[in-house]
Structure formats: structure tokens, C-alpha cells
Chains A and B, each alone.
Chain A
Amino acid sequence: MSLKTETMVLNMGPQHPSTHGVLRLELEIEGELVLSVKPHLGYLHRCFEKHSEAMQYNQVVPYTDRLDYLASIGNNLGYAIAAEKLLGIQVPERVEYIRVIMAELQRIASHMVALGSNGADIGALTPFLYLFRDREHILSIIEETCGARMLYNYIWIGGLSHDIHPDFVRKTKEFVNYFKPTIVELDNLLSYNKIFIERTANIGVLPVDTAINFGASGPTLRGSGIKFDLRRDDPYSIYDRFDFDIPVGKGLQGTVGDCWDRYYVRVREMEQSLRIIEQAIDHIPEGDVKAAIPKRIKPPKGTAYARVENPRGDLGYFIISDGNTNPFRVKVRAPSFVNLEILGELCKGHLVADIIAILGSIDIVLGEVDR
């Protein structure tokens, strides 16, 4: 006689402490074992694409801020590059340098939240607070220049909204020196913590070919051991001038492509970003921060697709212009949206507690998933 068992459906979210916002997961579980995961999206669908059709080209920039709200500069940059591609304009050298420095600062800030919340999901709350404390340094540096803490509206089509603050260079250098030892502290406190390794190594292993087929990008893809970074493979702005490494997952604590690898890639990426900042910060040329473009931007008819390496992965903007002052259609290829799709694949056969670890290691931002 066999005992009849039933599976249970557990609804995780939209209000759940570790779904990173308002994601809803429908878990089918048998005891603690997860049989299938079904994400439900759209709880933060803010109609970005509709807005961008109703606004003029330069008015769309503030809305891009609100997509991936942890990495606003990166979003601005992607949109600006796509629009500039459509317009066929070149921005001044000074602008390019400032953009790169800002984007890298933002990348560090974004990774801090990602790493911290990954740790916090697993139960280590203190590193989360330390990282947020250090994030404040970056926020105050950027705030001094563009006046906002989170949603900057800083990179405009053909330039920047303001020139950098006179203190910017000094403070950035100070931050770089301050933050280097902090990464070591993070490593000691969290990365090499035995329990943290136990919880993340060999969990949610993502093989390379699956990752590519699912369109994964950013640290999620690189954690699987493939050296693919748009800053190197499809250089935009002036990234080809800098010398930096692309950290990849090597399976140091378990299998290549597990949660720990994805986590670790982010830690090492922060170091590389510091390297880029160090190389760029002393060479910002003098000059204007706005290219000569008309006030009313009216690009020719056509399409443009531009992509940049955002902290979460490959952020693409597809703009169709019909020759008017408003974009005809803007489609965002949001890295979190695509990366989240793998969740169902990764979670099969893991325990409920692992889902949290995997979700944290994919690092999604719901603003971008739902747009």
C-alpha cells in the first residue's frame, strides 16, 4: 500500500521579504522540496514604453531612471547612446570620461545592494548594513554633482545635465582608497564564511549553454564561466581605452555557475570598476559637457538598437523613430527580465531556502522586470 501524498502550492510574494520587491512566485512544493517555480510579474508595470511614446526624446530620460532604480546612470547611458546613434552625433571627450566614471561608480553602488541583499536573504544581516553604509559615500559623491540621491537624470542625449562638482575628483579618489580595504572586509565577513559557502556553493548551477540560450547576461552569465562583457566585446563609449579584467566564475567553492560564483563575480567586478575609475579620473579632459544639438530633437526616420553593460547585464534600447519629436516606439531589453526567466530552470529540485539564495544571486530589480 502506498501513501497518497499531495503537493502543496506556496505563494511567495508579492509581499515577501526576499522577493526583492513585488515579484510573486508560485512554488509547488512537496515538504520542503520545490518541484516547480512559476513567476508572476507585472506588479510594478509602470507603462514605461507607453510614456516614452508620449514624451519628447529628452523627456524620456527621467523615466529611464526609474527602470533599474539601483543603476540609474546605466539606464540613462543606454538610452542616450541609442538616441545619439539615431541622431548620428558624437559627444565631447569630457562627457565620455565623466559618463564612464559615473557608470562605474553606479555599478559599485548597485553591486553593493545586490551582494548585501543576497547575504541578507541567507541570514547575514550585518554585511548588508555595512554595504549600505559604504553606498552612501557613492550617493553623496554623485549627489554633489547632479543633485539627487537615486534617480539622477544626469546623462542627457548629447551630453550631461551638469558639469561635475569641483570636489568630484578629490572625493572619488578618496572613495577609491577607502573602498579597497572594505572589499577585503566583505570577503572576510561574508564571501569566505563557511556557512555562506555551504548555502550557496553547488546551488542553482547554471551551465553555459543554458545561460546563453536563455539570453542571460551580466554577472549571471559570467558566473557560468564565460568571458562575455559588452564593455570588452562590443565596446561603447570609451571603454576600449581602459585596462580591466573580466572576472568569471571558476567554481572555486563548488561547481562553475553556482550561486557562490555569481556572488563572487560581483565582488571582483567592484574591484575592476575601481580600476577603471582610477585610470579615468586623472585624465578627464577640459571642455564642454554638451554636444551641439538642437533643443527639439528630431531624428531621421529609422531604428536604432544600442546596448550597454549594466550592473545586471546587457541593457538594450530599441528606438524606432518616425521622424517626429516623440519616439515612435521604445522597447527596453531589460537584463533582469531576461535573467529572471532562468529562475524556473534553476530552482527545480532545490529546497525552499535555496530559492531565496538563487533569486538573490540572480539579482533582479522589479522596476526593470516589469517596466
Chain B
Amino acid sequence: MYQFIYDLTGNMIISTLVVAVFPLVNVLLVALIGVYLERKVSAWMQDRVGPNRTGPYGLFQTVADFVKMMQKEDAVSNEVDKKLYNIAPVLVFAGSFAAYAAIPFSSKLIGSEAEVGIFYVIAISSLVVAGILMAGWSSNNKYSLLGAMRSAAQIVSYEIPTALVVLSMVMLTGTLSLSKMSEMQTAYFWNWNIFGGAAFALNKFLLIPFMLVGFIIVFISTLAEVNRTPFDIPEAESELVAGYFTEYCGMKWAMFMLSEYGNMFAVSAIVSILFFGGYQSPIGYLGNTIGATWLIPYEQAFWFVAKGWFFILVQMWLRWTLPRLRVDQLMAVCWKYLIPYAFLNLIIIGIISLL
């Protein structure tokens, strides 16, 4: 993408900026639509209507929320640790925003085609933990502190099963690059990794059950990493009031919100790249059929976004159906079940891929 814009403008700064702004716009859009959808989806699930007074079908509800939040007073208690308090939301947002750099939206639309894409995403999204801990500590509020502690424990723990599953996928595909991984699962949906990958051999059928297990593990643990129900204990509304952002108001709080929805999309994207073909279409490209190859990147972007939103909807569906776990049960799920199974899965996939 950078190259494309550089060719177009011939200016390095402009093209860098455009490339950087694109994910930002995406994050904002995701949050804007995400919050609206969350309210609408929960309303539909709960026999309600949801927002419908602000614009047609309440479409501008989130816009109103953001404009309102921008004009809220920035009330800061005297007791907070000012520096950390102000850095924390920025850091959290930066963490989730930076992950977008390596996520391929289509074969052309990609910030950085880094060879170590998946490694980078996992590493950079850990930055969020630091931000959350800062927020919890600096707020000088006991609920924030408890929320931050829970969150740190949770995110750090759940990164292990995620990483293990990612490792097995890396073993299988032989690359760390997200775009190469997507590229491998080309053409039709039976070539997706969840169906054993593109190579047609005995391996493919042997792999399917273990791919399913891997997908379930990675889906559960990413759910926990973005603090969604049933793993939303860091901000557990009924216990900790609002968790680590109890003391934040206005735009600072909005940044936490942005990063939450940004993260939701990011992990959905990772899951779809690992198992569901990334930006590849499940049914072939219209561009190929009618002979207009320029159409393909746009189609790919469409499929990618569609897959991302599908997983976000699944997350919302779970959120409004399930109760939440307790903090020790959450840890037990991770250390007693997910990690051993992920290890086993890793070994088995390793053996199969040797066959």
C-alpha cells in the first residue's frame, strides 16, 4: 500500500501518513459501528428496540456519544498520579492501534508486509497490559487497582495459549508473515486452514479435528484478551463498578473504549487470518470470472472486513448470553485446560505436518 501511494504521490511523508491514517480511520469506524451494533444487537436479543431517536434507526447514536464525550469536563481527582494517569489511555490505544500495522486487509491493502507479522502483533498488543496497569495504579481507586490486577493476570495468562496455537499454525504454514499466511489459503473455502490447508493430501483430513481444537482455543483466549464476557472480569460492572477505568471520564475514557473495539476487530482479524483464509474469498473472485483483476483487492477487503465483523458479532452474542466467570475460575480455565490442550495440539499438528 505504501508503495502504491508512493508511486502516486512521490512523497514519502504523505504516503506514510496516509498509510498510518488508514488503520486509524478503521479503528474509529470499528468503534463507531461496533458500539452502535453492540447496543442494537443487545436490544434485539433482549426484546428491545435499541437506540432509534438519533438519526434514522439511531444510526448517529455513537456520533452523538463521541461529540458529547469530547465536550465533557476532564475531571481529574487531586489524588491521582497525573503523569501515569494521562499516559495510560494513550498507551492502551497505541497498543491496539499499532497492531493494525501488520494486518493485511487485502493483498494490496497492508501497512507493513513484515516477515514477522504475527509475532509483531502478539508482542505489540501486550503493550495494552502496561497501560491498564498504569491506569489502575495511578487512579488511586481501589476498584481500579483490583480491575487492573485482574486484567494484567488475565491478559498475560491468556497470551500463552494464543501463542501456542499461533506457533502450531506457524509450524504448519512455515511463515510468520500474515499476508503470506493469507495468501496460502487461496481460492475456495476448503483451502482454509480450518479445513486442513490448501495442500490436498492425507494430512488435510487428519488435520481438520486438530484445527478445530486450535480454533476454539484461540477464539476463547482472544476473547479473554480483549476482556469480553464471559471473561470481562477486569471491568466486571456488577463487582468492580467499571474496573480499571472507573476514574476516567470524557475523551480519556473514550480512548479505552476505542481501543477495546479496536482490539475486538484486531483479534477477530487474527483468528480469521489463522484459520479462515484471511482476506481470501470463500467462493472465488468475481474479478477473475469477469476478467477484471483490479477488482480483486476490493473484493478481498470486503471479505476480510466481513469475516472480522462476523467474529465481532459472535463475541457480542456470547456477551449478552453468558454470565461471567470468577477470577480464579478464569485462571483455572487457562492454566488447567487451555494450555495443556494447546500443547497437545501443537505436538500433534507437528507430527502430522511431518508426515
14 further interface pairs, Cβ-Cβ under 8 Å (given A130-B47, A199-B326): A8-B142, A10-B142, A17-B241, A18-B239, A123-B236, A123-B323, A123-B324, A124-B321, A126-B42, A126-B320, A198-B325, A198-B326, A351-B326, A353-B326
Tally of contact residues, B, Cβ under 8 A: 29
Q: Once bound together, how far apart are the Cα atoms of A211 and B126, in whole Å?
A: 48
A-B contact pairs, 21 of them (CB 8 A): A17-B241, A32-B328, A120-B238, A124-B322, A125-B46, A126-B45, A126-B320, A133-B47, A190-B323, A193-B323, A195-B322, A199-B323, A199-B324, A199-B325, A199-B326, A199-B329, A351-B326, A351-B328, A352-B146, A352-B239, A356-B239
Q: What chain B residues lie within 8 Å of A198 (beta carbons)?
A: 325-326, 329
CB nearest to A15 among chain B residues: B241
Q: What chain A residues lie within 8 Å of B237 (beta carbons)?
A: 17
Chain B stretch 162-208: residues in CB contact (< 8 A) with chain A: none
Q: Once bound together, how far apart are the Cα atoms of A258 and B146, in whole Å?
A: 26
- CB pair A32–B146 under 8 Å, yes or no, is yes
Q: What chain B residues lie within 8 Å of A230 (beta carbons)?
A: none
Q: What chain B residues lie within 8 Å of A10 (beta carbons)?
A: 142-143, 146
Q: A122-B238, A123-B236, A130-B47 are in contact. Are A351 and B327 (CB under 8 A)?
A: yes
Stretch at the interface among B17-25, B212-220, B227-235, B261-269: B227-235
Judge whether A96 is part of the interface by a CB distance below 8 angstroms.
no
Q: Once bound together, how far apart are the Cα atoms of A120 and B146, in whole Å?
A: 20
Min CB distance A163 to B, Å, is 34
Q: A199-B323, A351-B327 are in contact. Are A126 and B238 (CB under 8 A)?
A: no
* Partner pick for A354 among B48, B321, B326, CB 8 A cutoff: B326
Q: What chain B residues lie within 8 Å of A32 (beta carbons)?
A: 146, 150, 327-328
Q: Once bound together, how far apart are the Cα atoms of A124 and B46, in whole Å?
A: 11
Min CB distance A274 to B, Å, is 22
- CB pair B238–A129 under 8 Å, yes or no, is no
Q: Name A's B-contacting residues (CB within 8 A).
A: 8, 10-11, 16-18, 32, 119-126, 129-130, 133, 189-190, 193, 195-196, 198-199, 351-354, 356
Q: Once bound together, how far apart are the Cα atoms of A356 and B326, in whole Å?
A: 11
- CB pair A18–B47 under 8 Å, yes or no, is no
- CB pair A195–B327 under 8 Å, yes or no, is no
- CB pair A353–B233 under 8 Å, yes or no, is yes
A-B contacts counted at CB < 8 A amount to: 78
- CB pair B47–A195 under 8 Å, yes or no, is no
List 6 tightest A-B contacts by C-beta distance, closest first.
A123-B324, A124-B323, A18-B238, A129-B46, A123-B323, A122-B323
CB nearest to B150 among chain A residues: A32
Q: What chain A residues lie within 8 Å of B327 (beta carbons)?
A: 32, 351, 353
- CB pair B238–A17 under 8 Å, yes or no, is yes
CB nearest to A119 among chain B residues: B323
- CB pair A353–B236 under 8 Å, yes or no, is yes
Contact with A along B310-321 (1 / 0, CB 8 A): 000000000011
Q: What chain B residues lie within 8 Å of A124 (beta carbons)?
A: 321-323
CB nearest to B48 among chain A residues: A129
Q: What chain A residues lie within 8 Å of B45 (beta carbons)?
A: 126
Min CB distance A179 to B, Å, is 15
Q: Once bound together, how far apart are the Cα atoms of A8 and B237, in whole Å?
A: 21
- CB pair A195–B324 under 8 Å, yes or no, is yes
Q: Once bound together, how far apart are the Cα atoms of A190 and B323, in whole Å?
A: 8
Min CB distance B327 to A, Å, is 6
Q: Once bound together, how far apart are the Cα atoms of A16 and B237, in whole Å?
A: 9
CB nearest to B238 among chain A residues: A18
Q: Once bound together, how far apart are the Cα atoms of A190 and B236, in whole Å?
A: 18
Q: What chain B residues lie within 8 Å of A189 (beta carbons)?
A: 321
Q: Once bound together, how far apart are the Cα atoms of A272 and B150, in whole Å?
A: 42
Q: Once bound together, how far apart are the Cα atoms of A356 and B233, in whole Å?
A: 13
Q: What chain B residues lie within 8 Å of A199 (beta carbons)?
A: 323-326, 329
Q: What chain A residues lie within 8 Å of B324 (beta carbons)?
A: 122-123, 195, 199
Min CB distance A102 to B, Å, is 27
Contact with A along B234-249 (1 / 0, CB 8 A): 0011111100000000
Q: What chain A residues lie within 8 Å of B146 (beta carbons)?
A: 10, 32, 352
Q: What chain A residues lie within 8 Å of B323 (beta carbons)?
A: 119, 122-124, 190, 193, 195-196, 199
Q: What chain A residues lie within 8 Å of B238 (beta carbons)?
A: 17-18, 120-123, 356
Q: Once bound together, how far apart are the Cα atoms of A189 and B150, in whole Å?
A: 27
Q: What chain B residues lie within 8 Å of A125 (beta carbons)?
A: 42, 46, 320
Contact with A along B11-46 (1 / 0, CB 8 A): 000000000000000000000000000000010011
Q: Once bound together, how far apart are the Cα atoms of A248 and B321, in whole Å?
A: 28
Q: What chain A residues lie within 8 Å of B230 (beta carbons)?
A: 123, 195
Min CB distance B248 to A, Å, is 17
Q: What chain B residues lie within 8 Å of A195 (beta carbons)?
A: 230, 322-325
Min CB distance A94 to B, Å, is 37
CB nearest to A19 among chain B residues: B238
Q: Once bound together, how far apart are the Cα atoms of A7 and B146, in whole Å?
A: 13
CB nearest to B229 among chain A residues: A123
Q: Once bound together, how far apart are the Cα atoms of A198 and B46, in whole Å?
A: 24
Min CB distance B168 to A, Å, is 27
Min CB distance B220 to A, Å, is 13
Q: Once bound together, how far apart are the Cα atoms of A5 and B101, in whole Å?
A: 43
Q: Once bound together, how far apart are the Cα atoms of A227 and B332, in whole Å?
A: 37
Q: Once bound together, how far apart are the Cα atoms of A130 and B47, in whole Å?
A: 8
Q: What chain A residues lie within 8 Å of B142 (beta carbons)?
A: 8, 10-11
Contact with A along B325-339 (1 / 0, CB 8 A): 111110000000000
Min CB distance A198 to B, Å, is 6
Q: Once bound together, how far apart are the Cα atoms of A243 and B81, in whole Å?
A: 65
Q: What chain B residues lie within 8 Å of A122 (beta carbons)?
A: 238, 323-324
CB nearest to A11 among chain B residues: B142
Min CB distance B321 to A, Å, is 6
- CB pair B239–A193 under 8 Å, yes or no, is no
- CB pair A193–B322 under 8 Å, yes or no, is yes
Q: Once bound together, how far apart are the Cα atoms of A124 and B232, in whole Å?
A: 12
Min CB distance A356 to B, Å, is 5
